[in-house]
Chains A and B, each alone.
Chain A
């Protein structure tokens, strides 16, 4: 009875499409409806995955990508917070640098690649800088907007209570800006992973999950390409979940409505 109610309460509708796709995928490879050189069977993908996992190859690639990702993310967040914070807290800074910032953010991320490779080469520094740049814009922009979102009414309370600049920052500005700040970090995390894959495609070869997928394509190992795709998706999902749970913890006060 309890199991039955659990089944009826669980929303299984979201699983229908992926399972159907998996079925179609399995059938189409099993009955040769498609060229298995272009679309490996689920079983082949699974076995390639377990082989790479057991040999340790997968973990070398994955950890290389994650370290690259985190380095770029950390650098981008640091720069974004500092820059967005400066722009948000100082009217002067906004007048002098704001317009340039808003103009530069119109440049598509991938358009920076030729310049970055000219300056930083094709190795790790270029990749990390590229990722940092991807993270920088959403973090800086949301930090700026978060700080500017402080309500005038609440600011007046800080005035009436004679809070010092530091106390205003701690009790008013940071909490006011926190939701936007988290949006920035969250976006930064998503963009960082996107840029990590991009960096591995566009700069020189080195261990990394994106690189292993390129290798797979070059050697016509579609199973390798496909499991790489799934690992990339899984990591993205995990990072997203991580950010969400962190956000929920730190913004507890918003849940009581």
Chain B
């Protein structure tokens, strides 16, 4: 077996509360290959977002190890990009400057930076909006800018924290297709956290199903279907039904 690109071993996380520690993640073991697209799906409170925050380095694990290319993950790093559920653009910067901000410390000339920004705005289909203010964009467009910002540093891993969760169904479907296209074009290792089983199976090479209290992995489902996929593919529909079964047993683990 080849060494994992991104590896989580016996990862444990608990939050310190007034009445003692509250375990949110327990014994998470997961190995992710280079270039792989892994979806993590689960209901609210299963710790999936916390898991992503550990990977990006905004939180520290209470135990176990997280390794990227055999190097322990400590703090944030440009090698790990993230797109949050809320776009988190800086409202006082134009679209272009928001993406440029990610290159603030890149050892590049001004011209190179601008070229990279233009290239990534084009990648997310927003070439004409470089000078627009975030407040002038729709939710879907804002999220595209956030994706461009997450990619512009050419990170080794792209982390997506329910990136389309706040969008309407039509925009969400459109952006899912675009994400599949971008991922195929860039070949970047991607971890997507979502509560949407459809989204998880549509995009993921593997789907990690989590269950709550404390958050742990219930099972990992392989999606052996070539990309890009069609939503109405029979195998996909069957997989979705299969995974949804996991959530139908107990009502308090139902999906949001």
Listed in ascending order, the chain A residues whose CB lies under 8 Å from chain B are 153-154, 156-157, 159-164, 167, 171-172, 175, 178, 253-254, 256-257
Whether B78 contacts A153 by the Cβ 8 Å rule is no
Q: Which residues of A contact B82 (CB under 8 A)?
A: 160
Q: With A162-B76, A162-B78, A162-B105 known to touch, is A157 a contact of B90 (CB < 8 Å)? A: yes
A257→B92 CA distance, assembly (Å): 12
- Please report whether the interface of chain B is mostly helix, strand, loop or mixed according to DSSP: loop
The residue of chain A having its C-beta at the shortest distance from the C-beta of B91 within the complex is A253
B76 touches A160 (CB 8 A): yes
Residues of A within 8 A of B90 (CB): 154, 157, 171-172, 175
B74-115 with Cβ < 8 A to chain A: 76-78, 81-82, 84, 86, 88, 90-93, 101-102, 104-105
Task: Answer whether A161 and B58 are a contact pair too, CB < 8 Å, given A153-B86, A253-B135.
Answer: no
Interfacial chain A residues near B91, Cβ < 8 Å: 253-254
Q: Is the CB of A157 within 8 A of B88?
A: yes
Check if A164 sits within 8 Å of B105, measured CB to CB: yes
Q: Which residues of A contact B136 (CB under 8 A)?
A: 256
Q: How many A-B residue pairs have CB under 8 A?
A: 53
Per the bound structure, the CA–CA distance linking A162 and B135 in Å amounts to 25
| B56 sits at the interface (CB 8 A) | yes
Is B58 in contact with A159, judged by CB distance below 8 angstroms?
Answer: yes
9 A-B pairs with C-beta separation under 8 A: A160-B82, A161-B78, A161-B102, A163-B101, A167-B104, A171-B90, A175-B92, A175-B93, A256-B133
CB distance from A250 to the nearest CB of B (A): 10
Nearest CB to that of A171 among chain B residues? B101
Smallest CB separation, B82 vs chain A (Å): 6
Q: A160: shortest Cβ distance to chain B, in Å? A: 5
| Beta-carbon contact of A161 and B135 below 8 Å | no
Specify the chain B residue showing the minimal Cβ separation from A163. Answer: B104
Q: Which of A154, A160, A253 contacts B58 (CB 8 A)?
A: A160
The answer to whether B102 touches A153 (Cβ under 8 A) is no
Q: Is the Cβ of A257 less than 8 Å from the Cβ of B135? A: yes
Interfacial chain A residues near B101, Cβ < 8 Å: 161, 163, 171
Q: How far is the CA of A167 from the CA of B102 in the complex (A)?
A: 11
- B contact residues vs A (CB 8 Å cutoff): 56-58, 76-78, 81-82, 84, 86, 88, 90-93, 101-102, 104-105, 133, 135-136
A253–B135 alpha-carbon span in the complex (Å): 8
The answer to whether B92 touches A156 (Cβ under 8 A) is no
Whether the pair A161, B104 counts as a contact (CB closer than 8 A) is yes
Chain B residue contacts of A171, Cβ below 8 A: 90, 93, 101, 104
Chain B proximity of A237: nearest CB distance (Å): 29
> Please, which residues of chain B bring their CB within 8 A of the CB of A154?
88, 90
Q: What residues of B have a CB within 8 angstroms of the CB of A254 in the complex?
A: 91, 135
Select B133's contact among A153, A161, A172, A253, beta carbons within 8 Å: A253
Q: Tell me, in angstroms, the Cα distance from A154 to B92 when the chains sit together.
A: 12
A166 to chain B, nearest CB (A): 10
CB of A160 within 8 A of CB of B56, answer yes
Known A-B contacts A161-B101, A161-B102, A161-B104; the reply to A253 vs B84 at CB < 8 A is no
> Closest Cβ of chain A: how far from B169's Cβ, in Å?
25
Q: Are B88 and A159 closer than 8 Å at their CB atoms?
A: no
Q: How far is the CA of A171 from the CA of B58 in the complex (A)?
A: 20
What distance in Å separates the Cβ of B55 from its nearest Cβ neighbour in chain A?
11
Chain B residues near A162: list those with CB within 8 A. 76-78, 105
Looking at the assembled complex, report how far the CB atom of B233 sits from the nearest CB atom of chain A, in whole angstroms.
35
Query: Which chain B positions have C-beta within 8 A of A167?
Result: 104-105
Bound Cα distance A252, B91 (Å): 11
Q: In whole angstroms, how far apart are the Cα atoms of A154 and B87 in the complex?
A: 10
CA distance A171 to B77 in the complex (A): 19
Set A153, A164, A175, A178: member contacting B88, Cβ < 8 A: A153
With A153-B84, A153-B86 known as contacts, the answer to whether A159 contacts B76 (CB < 8 A) is yes
Give the distance to chain A from B151, nearest Cβ to Cβ, in Å.
Answer: 13
The 4 closest A-B pairs by CB, nearest first: A175-B92, A256-B133, A253-B92, A256-B135
Return A230 CB to nearest CB of chain B, in Å. Answer: 39
Query: Could you say which residues of chain A place their CB within 8 Å of the CB of B57?
Result: 160
> Closest A-chain residue to B132, C-beta based?
A256
Docked CA distance A215–B57 (Å): 70
A157 to B57, CA, bound (A): 12
Please give, as numbers and ranges, the residues of chain A lying within 8 Å of B77 by CB-CB distance. 162
